[in-house]
Every structure is written in structure tokens, then in C-alpha cells.
Chains A and B, each alone.
Chain A
Amino acid sequence: MFFRTIFALIIINKAGGLIYNKTFHEAGLNKISTNDYLVLAGTFHGVHAITTRLNPVKAPSNRTSMQSGILTRPDPPSGLEVLESENFRLQCFTTLTGIKFLLFTDTTQANVDLTIRRIYEMYSDYVMKNPFYQLEMPIRCDMFDRKLLSYIREINNR
């Protein structure tokens, strides 16, 4: 039905609050109110936190890391990354600073990793370098909106 489209993007801050939300393709998802978006963000943040703890694999013992000579930290367990259903696919990218980028796409969309990386680059450029942006606050940056829209539109119309 929908072939390779990106439906929406949501950005969640460290505390679980919604700081950015944008829908690119009207028809793919149900329209929900702003309040529902906030609830969705909070719920996802909680679920993500729980799944971080639900790690069945035991952490590697210290002996192996000391043998290699360099003190390597094992990767911290990450939370929920992909959620797939028959109508859509949700991919979550967690940054080192605790910001989560949630991208809702069609199930046939390829290169979602690349897309999310590109969005992260745009975020770090146009939001972080903006002197008028306060950290952890809702994103109201004109340049970020414009660049994001043109990029996603290009993908959706390909």
C-alpha cells in the first residue's frame, strides 16, 4: 500500500518529555491529539527503560578485558530498538546524551539506519548550534524544520 515512506519523527529528551514531533505523510498513521503524543512519548520512555534492564546475556567477566591490556568497557545494554507490526515499523535511535529519535516508517523502507543518522546530523547542526535553543526544551528551530522537511520529502517522493 504505502511503498517506502517515512510517516513521522518524534524526539524524546533525557527525562522522557516530548520535544519534537512531526508527521510527514498524512495518510499512513492515525491522527492523534498533541496530548496523546505526549503520553506516547512518556510511555515509550518508560518501556525503553524497562527493556534496558531486561538483559538475559551475562556481562563478560573482567578477566578477558584485563588480558587484552587495554581496559575495555563492555557495551551498556541498550533498550528497545525496533518495533515492527504489519502496518508500520518503529525504529529508535538512542544517543550518548540520552536523546531518543523515534522514526515511524513503512515496513518496506530500506536504509532506515542511514536516515536516522542523517536526522541526527541535522539535529546536531541546526539545533545544537543554535544560540537560542535551550537544552531539553521543545525544539522550535526554523532551519531544522526546513532542512528536515526537504530531506524527508525527497525520500518519500523517490
Chain B
Amino acid sequence: MSHLAAGKTAGAKEAAGLRYPSNGKTIYHRPLNRTKTAELSQSSFAYLFSEMVTYAQRRVTGIQELEKRLNLQGHPIGLKLLDLLLIREPARSQTRPLNIISLLHFIKINIWQHLFGRQADRLEKSSNPDTPDEYMIVDNEPLVNAYVSVPREMSQLNCAAFVAGIIEGVCDGAAFPARVTAHSVGGKEEGEMWPGKTVFLVKFQPEVLEREALIGRA
């Protein structure tokens, strides 16, 4: 700590704009596991998210662009979550995901558990032989859509594009570049169990599949 105090005055002059808190404890002193079990009120998040959607809607030309903006808002979060969740795991089980299936399992279990307190509902591989690189993560009731009712003229919009951005960030960070989109498949009928059911379509780039094939053979 004395080292830090000596650096304080020098640091204040040379690093313009860098402020040290008065008790000398920077963010580096805070343990990463401190907020592992912390809870956040759903209402606060709902208000914040509703502002994010409004912000993304400013001067936007169409629904695609709105979804793209929400996607971009979620992307850096995915990159950070990847390292954070890896470091919080006990040291024995710290491994990087090496293939598509383990990456998707990591997303379905760890990421979902961290963000929403439960696991994602289903993970499927596309059965279409033309597109072997598409995988689907199904969530029956995305938390971010809990209070959002999309007006009829924008019925194609799914605000879970934000979560799709987080997934895309995780995939890109783990060196499996992909494009992730959110599609609502819940019907509007009266008897529908999960009207808000959403499918996250993960489409990997071709080089990922090539690499998978090479590793599989080796």
C-alpha cells in the first residue's frame, strides 16, 4: 500500500484524469468473487432495459437496425462474461471450450445460470442438411421480455436481440465467430403454454466448421 501511496502523487500528475479513491483502494483490490451470489431487483433491470430499447430506437431506419443495435449493446458483455465465469470456476475445472458442443453447453448452463438463475431450456442442432452450422438455443420465457409488449406494427421485433448479442460476444471471444439472432416462436393462441418462447439461432462461420473437422480428425 505504501507503494501505491508513493505512486499517488506522481500518478495524479502524469496520468491525467486518473483519480484514486481517498482510501487508496482501487477496483483492483476488490475480489472478483464478492458479487457471485449477489441479487438484483428485476424491476430495476426492467426499467434500465426499457431505456436501452428506447435509446436504441432513436433515428433508426427499421426493425433490423434496431435489433442490430441491441445486439451490439450485448456483445461486449459476452466478452467479459466469458473470462469472468472462467475465473470463478474452481481451479481444477478451468478449461476453455475447445469444440462447438462444449461451447454451447457452457453457454446453456453457465451463462444462463449467471444471467437468469436457471438453465436454458433446450439446445438443438439444425436438422437441415443445407445448414449444418446452425444450432438453436431455446428459451421458453426470456427474462428480458417479461414486461415488454411489442406493438402490432413491430411484431417482428424481439427484444431478446440483446441476449443474442451477449451470446455472440461469448462465441466471438472464444474464437468461434458466429452470428446469433433471436426469433420468437410462441404463438398467439389462447392455449399456448409459452407465448414468449424464443429461439436463439447460432450460425457459425465456415472456418469454425473446418477447424472442427481438422481437430476431429487429429
A/B touching: CB–CB < 8 A: yes
Complex-state Cα separation, A144 to B150, whole angstroms: 11
Decide: B147 and A129 in contact? CB cutoff 8 A.
yes
CB distance from A17 to the nearest CB of B (A): 19
Residues of the A chain whose Cβ atoms lie less than 8 Å from the Cβ of B47: 129
Chain A CB count within 10 A is highest, among B53, B54, B147, B195, for B147
Chain B CB count within 10 A is highest, among A125, A132, A143, A144, for A132
A142 beta carbon closer than 8 Å to chain B: yes
B43 beta carbon closer than 8 Å to chain A: yes
Contact of A131 among B53, B152, B195 (CB under 8 A): B53
Chain B CB count within 10 A is highest, among A129, A144, A146, for A129
Residues of the B chain whose Cβ atoms lie less than 8 Å from the Cβ of A142: 149-150
Residues of the A chain whose Cβ atoms lie less than 8 Å from the Cβ of B53: 131-132
On B, residues with C-beta under 8 Å from A are: 43, 46-47, 49-54, 57, 147-152, 154, 159, 195
A140 beta carbon closer than 8 Å to chain B: yes
Residues of the A chain whose Cβ atoms lie less than 8 Å from the Cβ of B57: 131
Q: Which range holds the interface residue count of chain A?
A: 10 to 19
Closest A residue by C-beta to B45:
A129
CB distance from A75 to the nearest CB of B (A): 27
Decide: A129 and B50 in contact? CB cutoff 8 A.
yes
Closest A residue by C-beta to B53:
A131
Decide: A131 and B151 in contact? CB cutoff 8 A.
no
Among residues 138 to 154 in chain A, which have CB atoms less than 8 Å away from a CB atom of chain B? 140-144, 146
Closest B residue by C-beta to A124:
B43
Decide: A125 and B147 in contact? CB cutoff 8 A.
yes
On A, residues with C-beta under 8 Å from B are: 125-126, 129-132, 140-144, 146
Complex-state Cα separation, A66 to B206, whole angstroms: 76
Closest A residue by C-beta to B50:
A131
Decide: B51 and A129 in contact? CB cutoff 8 A.
no
Residues of the B chain whose Cβ atoms lie less than 8 Å from the Cβ of A132: 53, 148-151, 154
Complex-state Cα separation, A100 to B63, whole angstroms: 34
Residues of the A chain whose Cβ atoms lie less than 8 Å from the Cβ of B159: 131
CB distance from A122 to the nearest CB of B (A): 10
Complex-state Cα separation, A141 to B50, whole angstroms: 14
CB distance from A132 to the nearest CB of B (A): 5
Contact of A130 among B43, B50, B152, B154 (CB under 8 A): B50
Decide: B147 and A126 in contact? CB cutoff 8 A.
yes
CB distance from A131 to the nearest CB of B (A): 4
Residues of the B chain whose Cβ atoms lie less than 8 Å from the Cβ of A129: 43, 46-47, 50, 147-148
Residues of the A chain whose Cβ atoms lie less than 8 Å from the Cβ of B54: 131
Contact of B151 among A126, A140, A144, A146 (CB under 8 A): A140
Decide: B151 and A143 in contact? CB cutoff 8 A.
no
Residues of the A chain whose Cβ atoms lie less than 8 Å from the Cβ of B152: 140
Residues of the B chain whose Cβ atoms lie less than 8 Å from the Cβ of A131: 49-54, 57, 148, 159
Residues of the B chain whose Cβ atoms lie less than 8 Å from the Cβ of A141: 149
